[in-house]
Structure 1
């Protein structure tokens, strides 16, 4: 790959460092999209013993790339995202992926299709962990940063995504306990 093309690709991902999410870190600053994706990949790595039949390297790749669309649109919280937003994001991702050199395009286009269809164990695991990372981050942030709708959302977000495995269901249950304690202690 030409160095210019390489830098052009890498520069797109700098946007994920600049674009913030609506959630705050425990230190009181807004979390970046890149930080969310990074911890999500770490979360995937540390569940490989729970999922011996799952290709964890593929899950990690999904975690690293899943919010690529937000490099173009910025973060739109799940409770504000519309079908129009999703179409715009998908169009930008498709355009970007099609601009990649063959070697990368042939790997990443099927990966994104797999993430969208959520039919494989790898895609289901990435999606469950993605939802849970957001819940965990909210539990770590000061409750004063929560929007009123997030009190209930914290308890329901990810329920469908975690249903596929006992480990992810237990993770959600434990996170809900932490959420309820946080709410009750305020």
Structure 2
């Protein structure tokens, strides 16, 4: 790919820096999709030794690209996102990927297909980390920023997504304990 095409691709991805998510940071700043994707990727990288039989570089790649569709639609919180919202986001992302240089387009299509199928350990780890990062961030944000439904959601969300892994199940239990402690403290 030539340098101009490369820059144009990066300009699209840059939109995620200004795409707000539902959650806030510890200091109350609205989190961006880019910040979420960065930490999900970091979480994957740090698990290399916990999952020696997994291609962690592939997991990191999945984590880096998983919300690129939100460049076109913005972030819609999981508890309000509809099938129609998902279809629109997927369609716009597919159109953009099809417009990219052939090799990059092919690589991204293959990753997204694997992510959507949820059959490989890599895809399952990416999906689990995406959900767990959101829970961790909610636990780090001021409780005053939580919506009413998040009190229950933070207690129940993603347990089914981690059940394939004892390590990730243990992590989910630790996150739950942090949630319960936070609610008890009311902060």
TM class, shorter-chain normalised? over 0.9
Question: Matched residue of 1:76: which SS?
Answer: coil
Question: Matched residue of 1:181: which SS?
Answer: helix
Residue 97 (str. 1) matches residue 97 (str. 2): yes
Task: State the alpha-carbon separation in 2 of the partners of residues 156 and 15 from structure 1.
Answer: 31
Aligned to 1:158: 158
In the TM superposition, 1:24-63 aligns within 5 A as: 24-63=24-63
Aligned to 1:167: 167
Aligned to 2:129: 129
Question: Matched residue of 2:49: which SS?
Answer: coil
Range that drifts further, 7-16 or 145-154: 7-16
Aligned to 2:120: 120
Aligned to 1:66: 66
Task: State the alpha-carbon separation in 1 of the partners of residues 44 and 32 from structure 2.
Answer: 19
Task: State the alpha-carbon separation in 1 of the partners of residues 156 and 116 from structure 2.
Answer: 21
TM-score, structure 1 normalization: 0.98
Query: Once the 2 structures are TM-superposed, how far is the Cα of residue 157 of structure 1 from its aligned partner?
Result: 1.2
Task: State the alpha-carbon separation in 1 of the partners of residues 70 and 161 from structure 2.
Answer: 21
Count how many residue pairs are aligned between Structure 1 and Structure 2.
Answer: 186
Query: Once the 2 structures are TM-superposed, how far is the Cα of residue 160 of structure 1 from its aligned partner?
Result: 1.3
Residue 12 (str. 1) matches residue 21 (str. 2): no
Question: Matched residue of 2:23: which SS?
Answer: strand
Range that drifts further, 102-111 or 36-45: 102-111
Task: State the alpha-carbon separation in 2 of the partners of residues 145 and 117 from structure 1.
Answer: 34
Task: State the alpha-carbon separation in 2 of the partners of residues 40 and 79 from structure 1.
Answer: 19
Task: State the alpha-carbon separation in 2 of the partners of residues 132 and 14 from structure 1.
Answer: 24
Question: Matched residue of 2:48: which SS?
Answer: coil
Structure 1 unmatched ranges of 5 or more:
none
Query: Once the 2 structures are TM-superposed, how far is the Cα of residue 4 of structure 1 from its aligned partner?
Result: 2.4
Query: Once the 2 structures are TM-superposed, how far is the Cα of residue 3 of structure 1 from its aligned partner?
Result: 2.5
Task: State the alpha-carbon separation in 1 of the partners of residues 141 and 112 from structure 2.
Answer: 30
C-alpha distance after superposition, 1:87-124 (max 9, x if no partner): 00100111111111111112110100111111100000
TM-score, structure 2 normalization: 0.98
